[in-house]
Amino acid sequence: METRAHIVVEGLVQGVGFRWFVARHAQGMGLRGYVRNLFNGSVEVVAEGDRSLVEELIKHLKVGPRSAHVSDLHIEWLPPQSETRAFEIR
């Protein structure tokens, strides 16, 4: 079943390769969407695709790359919008 998740990742997640880490995993799973840094120091992820794959990506987000420290995740589940065909870094 297709779904869309809007996720905000908090913690030490900027300047540690977090966006590249997210993009590599999301692209490898064939998910659509984007990842970008937010002004408050957190990272925003919008991932769309099969719900089980989005949930698998969320497991990776909870850990992050080696030099990151994830303190919290805020997840909002939404209906898919199919606005992008790939997963990109913004």
CA 83/CA 56 separation, integer angstroms: 21
The single residue of 19, 24, 36, 90 carrying the catalytic annotation is: 19
Active site includes 19? yes
Please give the structure tokens belonging to residue 46.
Answer: 């919008």
Residue 33's CB is within 10 A of a number of other CB atoms, namely 26
Active site includes 37? yes
User: What is the sign of the dihedral through the CA atoms of 1, 25, 82 and 54?
Assistant: positive
Give residue 64's region: left, alpha or beta (phi > 0; psi -120 to 50). left
The single residue of 4, 37, 40, 66 carrying the catalytic annotation is: 37
Q: Which residues are catalytic?
A: 19, 37
